[in-house]
Amino acid sequence: MVMTISKLIKKRLRFAACLFLFSIVHIHVVEAGNVSVVTSIFPLYDFASHVGGDLVDVKLLLPPGVEAHGFSPTPHDMVTVTRADLFLYLSDILEPWAGTIVAALGADKGKVVEVGKEIMNTKDGHADRGKRNSTDDHIDGHPHASGDPHIWLDPHMAVEMVKVIEIVLSEVDPEHSEIYRNNSRVYIKELELFDAGTEQILRNCKVRTIISGGHFAFGSFAKRYGLTAVSPFRGYSPNAQPSPKAIAELVKIVRRTGSTVIFHEELIQPKVARIVARETGGRLMLLHGVHNVSREELEQGETYLSLMKKNVQNLKQSLQCQ
């Protein structure tokens, strides 16, 4: 009887020890697991992937081919964000739907990072912006304002976005902060090389005006490189429609500047651009705003830089740069 009780005690002790070891292993796996990040738009997805590397699992909330401004999150999207360690979005202007997600998170709002706001809160968030004299305008009188949410199209601001992502990843995963810092430095150098190359390409162009038949997105880009960007659309709403007067004015600008190319945006039928091209004898060309990518572009492994480099080549051709 004594032996039986002794064996029973030993058996229970072994079982308890196994449970303890299992709990240690389980906790270790959770702590050592990758940081889960959900992003609202493609630039944030690409930047977080570069900074996080193999240590971060990044998910783009926008399905491939879906236009960013008019997107509406589903219940499944809400669950995805709830389970993530971080939710990165740019601004309430660009993604008004993000407010629905933030409100649903409740006490979990600490995992939310409004990247544009974080940049604005830094001293040097706008370093070197607008150092050249340039103009960019909406045709029907709505000026390009500092509230333009398409900041990633200015490589200097893309660098600031990368810096914010590096900081927040280091906060949630301090053990790997040095890796995030190094990844950030490497990628920022790539962005700086792209910026320098773009400046060289666009320095001597016969035409200095980017004619867009799509929504106004390239104001920040134009300002960075001393160009002018015009669009018949007023504001940044995806539901905005240009007035006939604005379209007529754009036709006049095309003829006055000698432009032969009318740019259109990605993922949207270029109805207005076609009208302007038909009236002026111009041809259509894509100027990718990099809000999101199509399924084909995703499968081809397109990145922020690969798409921006294609934009620059299209601009070089259309603006007749030497």
Q: Provide the pLDDT for residue 240.
A: 73
| pLDDT 10s digits, 206-217 | 999 999 998 889
pLDDT, tens only, 88-117: 999 988 898 998 899 888 867 779 999 999
Domain map (residue ranges) of the chain: 1-31, 32-133+148-192, 201-318
Could you give the angle at which helices 75-83 and 98-105 cross, rounded to 10 degrees?
60
CATH of domain 32-133+148-192: 3.40.50.1980
- Confidence category of residue 78, pLDDT binned at 50, 70, 90: very high
Class of domain 201-318: alpha beta
Residue 33 is predicted with a pLDDT of: 76
Q: What is the model's pTM?
A: 0.82
What mean pLDDT do residues 36-62 have?
Answer: 97
Strands 228-231, 136-138: parallel, antiparallel or unpaired by DSSP? parallel
Contact 185, 255 (CB under 8 A): no
Could you report the per-residue pLDDT of 54-74, keeping only the tens digit for each?
999 999 999 999 988 778 999
